[in-house]
Each structure stands twice: as C-alpha cells, then as structure tokens.
Amino acid sequence: MNELTITLDVKSTIPLYEQIYEYIKTDIRNGKISCGEKLPSTRALAKYLEISRSTVELAYEQLLAEGYVEAEACRGFFVTQIEELYQWETAKETVAQKIIKEENVYKYDFSPRGVDLQSFPYSVWRKLSKEILSNDKSDLFQLGDSQGEYELRETICRYLYQARGVNCEPEQIVIGAGNEYLLMLLSTVLGKNRKIAFENPTYRQAYRLFENLSYDTCVVEMDRKGMCVDKLRKSGAEIAYVMPSHQYPLGIVMPIKRRMELLGWAAEEEERYIIEDDYDSEFRYKGKPIPALQGFDREDKVIYIGTFSRSIAPSIRISYLVLPKNLLKVYNEKSRFLSSTVSRVDQLIIQQFIERGYYERHLNKMRALYKNRHDIMVNELKPLLKYCSISGENAGVHLLLTFIEGKEEKILTQKAKEQGIKVYGLSTYDIKKKEKEQAVILLGYANMSEEKIIQAIHALTNAWKEYLE
C-alpha cells in the first residue's frame, strides 16, 4: 500500500477533497503510484491527515468517477490499469505563457494600452450587481435581443449624443463582446469583396483581423492632419478605417477640414464607407473632447465603433457598433440570427452604471488621475528633451518620444530591456515599413502610480544616458 505524503493547505480557497484528489491524480499520472497499487483506506487516510472521513471519500469518489481508481468489495481502492497513462508528458509552455513569463521580468512597463485597475469602481459595481440579481429575475438568463438589450442601446444613444455628438437610434446599435467581435460581425455585413484602407501606423489588431478574413487591405500614409484623402482616392479602397479623434498610436487629431474631405470621399461612391474607431475619446486633458466624425455625416457613410473596455476595465468586454441605416437591412438579413455575445446581466449593470451618473463620475475621476500622471511624466522627461521631442500629449494614455537622427529604436528598446524596463517602438505598429525610419518610442502612464512613473523615468534616463550622449 502506498504511503501518501499529502500536505494540505487549510487556508487555500481550493477545497480539501480537491487537494487530495489532485495530489493522487498527479502521482498516478507521473507513475509515482503504480497501476494495481492499493490506496490507503478512507479511514486510514482521514486519520493520517486529521480530517473527516467524508472529505477523503469525496476525493476517492472523484478519482473513481474519472477512472483513475477501481473499487473492489471488501478490499479497497486500486489504481486502474490504463494504457499509456503514465507516458503523459508535462504540458509544453504555450506562447501565451511565455509572453506572461517575459512580462513578469520587467520592473517597469510603459504599456500604451494600460488601464488603472486600482480605480475600478468595485463598490458601485458590486451594489448594482446585487440589485439586479436580488429579485427573482430568471428571465435574465434567457437569450436576449441579438443586438443587445434595448434599454442599454437607448442609454448608449443618449450618452453618445451628449458626449460625442453622435446621431443615432437604438435600432442602429449592436452590442458585442469587444471591438474585434464587432469587426468580425461587420465583415458579414460589408461582404468580403471589399478593399479596406488603413492608416499607417495603425491599430494592428484591426488590420490583422480583416487581413485574416481575406479582405483586400492596403495602407494609406498620413500627414500631420491624419489620413491623406488624395492618397486614399488613388488606393482604390472602398472602406477607410480611421481614428479621427485620437489616432492610435500617433495621437493625431484630424481637423474639421480633413474630416469633411474624408466624408466627401465616402459620398462619391454608393458603396464607400468609413469605419470610425473612437476607442479613447473620453480622455482629453486640454479643451473639449473632439466631436465624432459620425456627427458630421449627412450621407449615412460612417460606421461608428466604441468600447467601455478602455474607460472602465479591459475585462468589461462590452463594445458597441452604430450602423448606418442603409446597412441595417443587410445586417438583419445576414447577421441578426447570431446571438448576443454579452450576458444580459452585464448589459444591465452597464446600463444602470451610465443611467445613474456613475459612469460620468468615474470618467471625471479617471481624467483627473490620468492628467496628473501625464503632467508628471512630461515634467520628468525634461532631461531627455535635448535628444528627443514629445508628441501625442494632452489626450489618451501615452506619449511619443521622437529622437534625433542617428538614434535607433532597436537599441533604445534593448537598452531599456537590459534594465528591466519595457518600452514600445513605433515600428511595431507600422504595416508598411518606411525607408528612413526615425526612432520613436511610446510611453504609457495609465497603469503606473505617480511615484512609479518618477522612478521609471529616472531608470529609463539612466538606461539610455550613455547611448544618447
């Protein structure tokens, strides 16, 4: 009989029976307990571990149910003979695990897509969740409207009109679990035989998505005002994917004249459309938020997409798509049969979060927080300004450092990495590599405290000092 040396963690959230089950299962898989070997009796193991016999019985029952052991009357439990059971290899490290492992080696991470999770409104979220689930609302667990709950769509309509100048009706809105899902959904509405133009550099996730969906994709260069409309016209594209309010990653704000030119391009052909990704318009620290392009559209040419993941938390996988009315018929024919990808409970929480003013208060809090971190970072970067210039400031959650000629992005990122600092080169966002590429580094500040920003910039300055001088 095998002597099991099981160590139980009574403070763990994992039940004791599950700890016993996992220990024995692992030993069986690794061959530490041979096939045909008898396990200790439930009474003996319970006495040895100083726990109740019923706990051990639960563990044995689970092993029995999964076929790891067999029970013989009046004899006890024996390890089952299963061919090749003991040849199982330890699972290989996945790409995702490798990435996580690599991320953990960094002391400072200037992620340009960070979010301050310490400021998540836990108490309010908990309160709203309890309220929504407090009564018998079994209907909430039924499939809802494929476009999303009507109440939430109404609320989003009001919010978008007040905050972004977007003109729409609830019927035009589709709720989905993240922008990527909504873009995939949009692909079924637009059809595959389309050419889509992207800014360069751009949000690579969107570009990769359409490319993987076998769309004909191209890039259109930008100037300091955004996508060049003349070049867009020459590209032969029918759809333009743009971020006019705060282009990612360059931070360019498209002026009204260029916006009108872009709308004019779309109006020239019946099948032309603009996808407006308004991913972080809430965070502007100087002047008023820039109105959405959709609000200027009089020809039903703008497909507007927004998200709550950026303003609240990445795991809040709730985004929204505003379809032009002339695409609604196509959506109803091709895509309305698809079920909503967001739980009705989560939709109601968001709806109440906005309706009761919590969202506005949260945004005000986050704007103040991010502005303070933005100002601290700009101030701490002053010693580096003889080697680089700052751009993309006063909006979003990252800055760009453009270095003097002769400096290489690859060396800058490597020097930072050697000191446990992760920075992001602009070239990683390029779809089409430029012939002469100036070194540009993105520095995000949302996921760092004020104190950590100061420490990180000092460490970064020291890491680059020798190379820059």
Contacts of residue 320, defined as CB under 8 A and 6 or more positions apart, other chains included, come to 148, 153, 156, 173, 174, 175, 176, 182, 305, 306, 307
Report residue 182's pLDDT band, with 50, 70 and 90 as the boundaries: very high
319 within 8 A of 308, measured Cβ to Cβ: yes
Q: How far apart are the first and last CA of the chain?
A: 71
pLDDT of res. 238: 96
pLDDT value for 349: 93
- Find the mean pLDDT for residues 301-316: 91
Percent pLDDT > 90 in the chain is 57
For residue 94, name the pLDDT band (cuts at 50, 70, 90): low
Task: Count the residues in the chain.
Answer: 469
Residue 116's SS3 state is coil
Helix, strand, coil: what percent of the chain each, to 5? 45, 15, 40
Provide the Cα torsion 160, 166, 167, 173; round to 10°: -60
- Is the previous residue joined to 249 through a cis bond, with omega within 30 degrees of 0? yes
Measured in whole angstroms, the distance separating CA 370 from the mean position of its chain's CA atoms is 19
What does pLDDT average to over the chain? 88
Higher local confidence (pLDDT), 304 or 51: 304
What value does the mean pLDDT take over residues 179-205?
92
Confidence band for 86, pLDDT divided at 50, 70 and 90: very low
What tens digit of pLDDT does each residue of 372-401 get? 999 999 999 999 999 999 998 888 899 999
Q: For residues 7 and 3, give the distance between their C-alpha atoms in angstroms, rounded to a whole number.
A: 13
292: helix, strand or coil: coil
Q: Cβ atoms within 10 A of the Cβ of 359, count?
A: 23
Question: Which residue type, as a one-letter code, is found at position 36?
Answer: G
pLDDT of residue 136: 67
Three-state DSSP class for residue 69: strand
Q: Are 380 and 399 in contact (CB under 8 A)?
A: no
Name, in order, each residue with C-beta under 8 angstroms of 95's C-beta and a sequence gap of 6 or more.
none
pLDDT at 166 over 90: yes
pLDDT computed for residue 247 by the predictor = 92
Query: Is residue 130 scored above 50 in pLDDT?
Result: yes
Mean pLDDT, range 23-28, rounded to an integer: 86
Distance in angstroms (rounded) separating the CA atoms of residues 239 and 274: 6
Domains of the chain: 16-87 (1.10.10.10), 102-117+366-468 (3.90.1150.10), 143-356 (3.40.640.10)
Q: pLDDT band at 209, cuts 50/70/90?
A: very high
302, amino acid identity: V
**Average pLDDT score over residue span 64-71:** 86
- The set of residues, in sequence order, having a beta carbon less than 8 Å from that of 268 and lying 6+ positions away, is none
Lowest mean pLDDT: which of 8-22, 129-143, 405-419, 437-451?
Answer: 129-143
pLDDT recorded at residue 217: 94
Answer whether residue 456 shows pLDDT above 90: yes
Consecutive H or E run containing 410: helix 409-418
Beta strands 195-200 and 216-223, pairing class: parallel
Give CA–CA dist 450/260, Å, rounded. 40
Over residues 178-194, the mean pLDDT reads 91
**Region label for 226, one of left (φ > 0), alpha (ψ between -120 and 50) or beta (otherwise):** left
> What pLDDT is recorded for position 87?
46
352: exposed, middle or buried (Cβ count in 10 Å: 0-12, 13-18, 19+): buried
Closest CA to 459 of 451, 428, 410, 371: 451
**Amino acid, single-letter form, for residue 311:** S
pLDDT band at 32 (very low <50, low <70, confident <90, very high): confident
pLDDT at 144 over 90: no
Average the pLDDT over each of 25-29, 308-312, 418-422 and give the range with the smallest value: 25-29
The residue ranking higher by pLDDT, 198 or 27, is 198
| Per-residue confidence (pLDDT) for residue 91, from 0 to 100 | 52
Q: Give me the DSSP letters along 314-364.
A: TT---EEEE--HHHHHHHHHHTTTSPPSS-HHHHHHHHHHHHTTHHHHHHH
The continuous run of DSSP H or E covering 128 comes out as helix 122-134
The predicted-structure confidence for 311-366, as pLDDT tens digits, reads as follows: 888 888 899 999 999 999 899 888 888 888 888 999 999 999 999 999 999 999 99
d(CA 135, CA 310): 31
One-character DSSP codes across 431-452: SS--SS---EEEEE-TTS-HHH
Query: Which amino acid, residue 130?
Result: K
Encoding tokens for residue 342?
């967001």
pLDDT tens per residue across span 232-291? 999 999 999 999 998 999 988 899 999 999 999 999 999 999 999 998 888 888 777 778
- 89: Cβ–Cβ under 8 A, 6 or more apart, which residues? none
Nearest to 232, CA basis, from 201, 195, 202, 203: 195
